[in-house]
Amino acid sequence: MWRFFIGLILAVGIVSCAGTKLTQSEEGNARNIVGYIFARDTLLNGNDINVKDMTEINYAFANIVDGKISQGFKYDTENFKILNQTRTENPDLKILISVGGWEWSGGFSDMSLTKASRKKFIRSAIAFVEENNLDGIDIDWEYPNQIGNGNTYRPEDKEDFTSLLRELRSALHELGTKTGKHYLISIAAGASKKYLANTEMSKVQKYVDYINLMTYDFYVPGADSISGFNAPLFTNPRDPHHGSDDAIVQDFIADGVSPQKLVLGVPFYGHVFQVDSTSYNGRYEPAGIPSTRIRGTFANLVQHYINKNGFVRYWDSTSCVPYLFNPVSRIFITYEDQESLRDKCDFIKARGLKGVMFWEYNADYKGKLLQTLYDGLR
């Protein structure tokens, strides 16, 4: 995001890699580094998790079953114990349970519909937090009053989402008066104007500690018929969607959200497109899903594709992100690396945002991306 420059801070501001001048915000504020851990049915090894470089871990996911929070995977109880043991390495680490996600957001609309149904869920959530010695709850509803993954949705979701968070905040505050600690609430927010239109973010921000912006998946193979960047910092003029981190942050602020409540999401993975043309190195060209499956995790790209096997790494100085292109196979890969994350860290500081969130921990390569975030923000 802030390319060369990025070490250059002027008295009047800083200039991004795309040449955009941004007013420099006050430095020195501690910023959040929120990492999602998606264990599925795997037992974690606490020694393999770099808890020193994260402020929060969002453990994904819990489900909603019969209107109550429900353990999602086989080893969740054991994994919470393992994560709690890592606090010896970082006593300030906060551990949250993330509820929902793309696969498990189907129960939110019914659960939040009435005060009684919300109370049922909140009681179960408070018990879940206490039983597993957690520090809070991350609500990942994808999405209020939108179908998402074929989910139940209704217009009432807009106000019910706010009510759920307000009542959850009250319940966690009550718990905190007993335990002497502050319990966190965060949400994973869709990075679109449609998400803003179907929520009340200016009200929601009063009840949450921070809002994790899912500023990725701007282009997804199969869902989009042209190639595009997964997580561009700034909008590329060729982009018909006109989407970027910068645009979304501006939209949320214009909707009444304080920058200090916004956490910028970054992906530790990329997307792979088969393009029809080699024009513009495959960027914003008609595209589909390649027949050859390429795992898009940063770890896999480093080991097999970045400047290897016919793929060349390029840099888009407008969007401030890297990409790979193979002109023979016409495969375009959009991803994130250390250079783009350094730029995004500078963007976060310049905009006065709360911090950074990433999806997800296991996609990193030897901790290089997390280390970049830590060095850039802490």
Catalytic residues: 142
Pair of tokens at residue 208 = 């949450």
The partner residues of 33 in beta bridges, in order of sequence, read 356
Distance spanning both ends of the chain, measured CA to CA? 18
Contacts of 38 (CB under 8 A, 6+ apart): 60, 61, 359, 360, 361, 362
The two structure tokens encoding residue 319: 């969007």
**Would you say 134 and 128 are in contact if contact means Cβ atoms under 8 Å apart?**
yes
14: enclosing H helix or E strand: strand 13-15
Q: How many residues does the chain have?
A: 378
Cα dihedral value 22, 28, 34, 35, nearest 10: 100
Amino acid type, 22: L
SS (H, E, C) 304-360: HCCCCCCCEEEEECCCCEEEEEECCCCEEEECCCHHHHHHHHHHHHHHCCCEEEEEC
